[in-house]
Amino acid sequence: MAVITLANAKGGAGKTTAALILATELARQGNRVVILDADPQRWITSWSEISGHIPNLEVISHITPASLPCHIRELKDEVDFIVIDLAGAKDAIVALALGLSDQVLIPVQGCAMDARGAVQILDLIRQIQEKAKVRIKHSVVLTRVNSLVTTRALQTIKALLAARGVSVLDTPIIERAAYREIFECGGTLQTMDATRVSNLDKARENAFALASEIQTLLPVTPRRALMSRLRSALPRAA
């Protein structure tokens, strides 16, 4: 089981969108996923209420600093991924979630590059690491990136942040209508109507690439270990 937290001390950075896209894609791939909705605005809870049952996915709301560690402990053997969506804050629950995560993802909007909220989270991670003598794995994920932005431009941003010791995911989250509409219509990128939502296929591909890259950053989960054992035990296709 792996805990993935989306954090940025600023609202509107793209946390909730990234959390939902990631969680629904992991669930689509057959992983058991729980989203802990720790944002008092409860966007993911509202999405879940209009969506009805989504296979492999559950949303738990009203997360408090007291209940967060209990949920993680209880879910440890039940699920493959816990995705935590936080408020745009720098409070007790944010610090706790960072400390309990296997991977923290810090969304930064590619266009605005207003990185103040991200810097606050990076500082908080550094403080917790020093005080608690733990290592918190973390990366920036560029989001709302215009689909026309070149790989070279992204590489430049990546190099700039790398020079400051911050790692950046290779996969940016592109600005897509589907990522906005999902909160209005409910369901997933798979259940959306491709005739109504532009570039839905590209949004699905982007979600797949994001989830794939994030999985490479995580410790091997029991299910993945089992799958790879099964795969190597099966006869190869001719």
Ligand X SMILES: Nc1ncnc2c1ncn2[C@@H]1O[C@H](COP(=O)(O)OP(=O)(O)O)[C@@H](O)[C@H]1O
Residues of this chain that interact with Mg ion (CB under 5 A) are 15-16, 39
Beta-bridge partner residues of 139: 105
Which is nearer to ligand X, 10 or 32 (by Cβ)? 10
What's the token pair of residue 127? 């403080």
Closest CA to 91 of 75, 71, 68: 68
Element (H, E) at 155: helix 151-163
End-to-end CA distance of the chain: 34
- How far apart (Å, rounded) are the C-alpha atoms in residues 139 and 102? 11
Nearest approach, Cβ of residue 236 and ligand X (Å): 38
Nearest approach, Cβ of residue 30 and ligand X (Å): 24
From ligand X, Mg ion, none, interface partner of 211 (C-beta below 5 to 8 A by class)? none
Which is nearer to Mg ion, 1 or 13 (by Cβ)? 13
**Interface of this chain with ligand X, residues 146 to 165, rule: CB under 6 A:** none
Does residue 180 touch ligand X according to CB under 6 A? Answer: yes
Which is nearer to ligand X, 8 or 48 (by Cβ)? 8
From Mg ion, ligand X, none, interface partner of 99 (C-beta below 5 to 8 A by class)? none
Only one of the segments 9-17, 58-66, 192-200, 212-220 lies at the binding site for ligand X (rule: CB under 6 A); that segment is 9-17
**Interface of this chain with ligand X, residues 95 to 114, rule: CB under 6 A:** none
Nearest approach, Cβ of residue 33 and ligand X (Å): 18
- Give the amino acid at 100: L
- How far apart (Å, rounded) are the C-alpha atoms in residues 157 and 78? 38
Only one of the segments 11-19, 68-76, 132-140, 189-197 lies at the binding site for ligand X (rule: CB under 6 A); that segment is 11-19
Beta-bridge partner residues of 168: 140
Is residue 71 a contact partner of residue 92, using CB atoms and an 8 Å limit? no
Which is nearer to Mg ion, 25 or 39 (by Cβ)? 39
From ligand X, Mg ion, none, interface partner of 13 (C-beta below 5 to 8 A by class)? ligand X
Q: How far is residue 143 CA from its own chain's centroid?
A: 11
The burial class, CB within 10 Å (0-12 / 13-18 / 19+), for 47 is buried
From ligand X, Mg ion, none, interface partner of 28 (C-beta below 5 to 8 A by class)? none
Could you tell me how many helices (H) and strands (E) the chain has, helices first? 9, 6
**Interface of this chain with ligand X, residues 14 to 33, rule: CB under 6 A:** 14-17
> Using CB under 6 A as the criterion, which residues of the chain lie in contact with ligand X when the complex forms?
8, 11-17, 88, 143-144, 173, 175-176, 179-180
